Amino acid sequence: DAKTTQPPSMDCAEGRAANLPCNHSTISGNEYVYWYRQIHSQGPQYIIHGLKNNETNEMASLIITEDRKSSTLILPHATLRDTAVYYCIVGYSTLTFGKGTMLLVSP
Amino acid sequence: EAGVAQSPRYKIIEKRQSVAFWCNPISGHATLYWYQQILGQGPKLLIQFQNNGVVDDSQLPKDRFSAERLKGVDSTLKIQPAKLEDSAVYLCASSLVKLGGPPGENEQFFGPGTRLTVL
């Protein structure tokens, strides 16, 4: 079973920030938090990962709580092309995908 | 940089027939993965190769599925005989991660997948 809990769907207006939550209360000390997304009819795409500290790259920011039991992926200015299923995954070297969050960005 | 290549993109077969999928990973990527994604679900790892050796095949239905990675580059996944429940998208991914290496290098690059329909 997946070790993460995500809402099944979320909506976001174009140009606004999209904040996608993820609970991972059973995360182990050496496990990372990875985020991938999957646009319709494509393979998953890596977004970002982190261990303890918050991380930022050109695509998104990852905020991990101090107790590491939850995290939030932030897309600062969502566009229509960000509509996808977003997967939050915890692990070390193997990725176990859950059902993810379907993010719908609307005009 | 070329991405992960897969072929065919689509395949329709009848149950009990055989089918094979091909994957060419990103050049230099030592690790190769095959995933099965059933409609409405996330991808499920079937098998992981490190160079030409199998690292993890615990979720591969070995009575009908087989995979090989000759010379540590290209890989093929075969189903023989196919069942209706094998209808899915089969995804290939590759990465630079090495066993015991920093997990931060575990960015997996996925191909477009092969959509299999078993009638």
| Per-residue pLDDT reduced to its tens digit, B50-68 | 988 999 999 999 999 999 9
Whether residue A16 is predicted with pLDDT greater than 80 in this model: the reply is yes
Whether residue B98 is predicted with pLDDT greater than 70 in this model: the reply is no
**Which residues of chain A make contact with B107, given a CB cutoff of 8 A?**
46, 49
- Which pLDDT does position B101 carry in this prediction? 63
B106 touches chain A (CB under 8 A): yes
Please tell me which residue of chain A has the smallest CA distance to B115.
A41
Whether residue A66 is predicted with pLDDT greater than 60 in this model: the reply is yes
Name the pLDDT band for B72 (thresholds 50, 70, 90).
confident
Name the pLDDT band for B70 (thresholds 50, 70, 90).
confident
Question: What are the start-end ranges of the E strands in chain A?
Answer: 9-13, 18-23, 32-38, 45-50, 55-56, 61-64, 70-75, 84-91, 101-106
* Averaged pLDDT, A53-77: 96
- Which pLDDT does position B96 carry in this prediction? 84
CA distance readout (Å), A52 to A38, A71, B75, B110: 25, 10, 36, 26
Give the range among A12-16, A27-31, A56-60, B91-95 with minimum mean pLDDT.
A27-31
Structure tokens at B76: 């093929």
Torsion A57-A59-A33-B35 (CA) sign: negative
Structure tokens at B37: 């994604």
**Which residues of chain B make contact with A42, given a CB cutoff of 8 A?**
110, 112-113
CA-CA distance, B3 to B51, in Å (whole number)?
A: 18
Share of chain B above pLDDT 90, in %: 81
Name the pLDDT band for B104 (thresholds 50, 70, 90).
low
Give the DSSP letter of residue A5: B
Residue showing tokens 């009990």: B16
Which residues, other chains included, contact B78 with Cβ-Cβ below 8 Å and sequence gap of 6+?
Answer: B18, B19, B20, B21, B65, B66, B67
Q: Which residues of A50-60 are buried (b: 16+ CB within 10 A; e: fewer)?
A: beeeebeeeeb
**Which residues of chain A make contact with B26, given a CB cutoff of 8 A?**
none
B26 touches chain A (CB under 8 A): no
Name the pLDDT band for B119 (thresholds 50, 70, 90).
very high
B111 touches chain A (CB under 8 A): yes
